[in-house]
Amino acid sequence: MQLDAVLDYLARITRVDLSRFTPLWINGERLGYVNADWEKRLLAHEPDLFVKSRVGLCIVLPGDYAVRSAQLNAAARRWLDAGWLKGWRGENFLSCREDGSPLFELERAAFRPLGLTSHAVHINGLTGSSASGIRMWVGRRSLAKSDDPDRMDNMVGGGVTAGESIRVACLREGWEEAGLSRVLLADVSKASLLLAERAVGRGLHREWLHAHDLWLPADSVPCNQDGEVAEHLCLSLEEVESLIVEERFMIDAALVAIDCLARLGYWGLQARHVREALAV
């Protein structure tokens, strides 16, 4: 076991210095965080939407959900045309107030520049038993992926789009990434909620990871449907730990896998140190 190495890795991927970012506000609520480069761009090129105040950067967005969404997505299109945005997916994420009510939806590629909080579903594929040895299904991302090609991933992992529930996202991603039927996914259980937060090239990645466990029959083999996963591998927990320490996993997938290993009792009583490191 390599618990010290895992804890060292967690210390490096779960600490972010938010003092280097400017808080982003809307109607008195802190919504996100913007780095220095994006703050300059927004103030210079979007003065009707973004203004500087004593508390940070404020979004000026009158109107209802549909109007706010239309205005911000039009701005995101301008950023795309200017060459500032990468990874455009034509897929919207939802931004909410602190009470959970929706504020607007926005192209997912624009979430990181504004440091907005998104949501994603992850499913750990498990098989075996404590007697026979528990194994975990993990995916290896396609070489054609623009983000993190050839990195290891959870059996299923993907963003929750605007208008989707967590359950619906599990069903959609479960089929697209692993060919899992609705019958199999009926047994999926939500295990934990993790916050992934780190500085990235595009700004701030801030996402709630809704982690699930799914125990698969011994004869069930995940089969990717959308071309995003090159292959699925059924690994021992020791092999999963080694891949984590070698930093072969995508960071969010590593957080979910580490959380799962702790929940399965892989590190015994020492798992409490992992849970403390993962605590929000």
Q: What is the pLDDT of residue 84?
A: 94
Distances (CA, A) of 50 to 27, 41, 240: 12, 10, 44
Check if 3-14+118-278 and 22-114 are the same fold. Answer: no
Q: What is the pLDDT of residue 280?
A: 67
CATH code for the part of the protein at 22-114: 3.30.750.160
Walk along the chain (280 residues) and give the pLDDT tens digit of each residue.
799 999 999 999 998 999 999 999 998 899 999 999 999 999 999 999 999 999 999 999 888 999 999 999 999 999 999 999 988 999 999 999 988 899 999 999 999 999 999 999 999 999 998 768 999 999 999 888 777 789 999 999 999 999 999 999 999 999 999 999 999 999 888 999 999 999 998 999 999 999 999 999 999 999 999 888 999 999 999 999 999 999 999 999 999 999 999 999 999 999 999 999 998 6
User: Which sequence spans correspond to the domains of the chain?
Assistant: 3-14+118-278, 22-114
| Cα–Cα dist 252/274, whole Å | 15
Q: What angle do CA 88, 89, 94 make, to 5 degrees?
A: 105
- Topology at the third CATH level for domain 3-14+118-278: Nucleoside Triphosphate Pyrophosphohydrolase (3.90.79)
What angle in degrees, to the nearest 10, is found between the helix axes of 237-245 and 3-13?
50
Q: What is the pLDDT of residues 83-121, one digit of tens each?
A: 999 889 999 999 999 888 999 999 999 999 999 999 999
| Cα–Cα dist 170/174, whole Å | 6
Torsion of CA 227, 233, 238, 243, to 10 degrees: -30
Model-level pTM?
Answer: 0.94
Q: What is the pLDDT of residue 167?
A: 95
Long-range contacts for 51-57 (Cβ within 8 Å, ≥24 apart)?
53/25, 55/23, 55/25, 56/22, 56/23, 56/24, 56/25, 56/30, 57/22, 57/23, 57/24, 57/25
Q: What is the pLDDT of residue 145?
A: 79
| Cα–Cα dist 4/35, whole Å | 32
Q: What is the pLDDT of residue 132?
A: 80
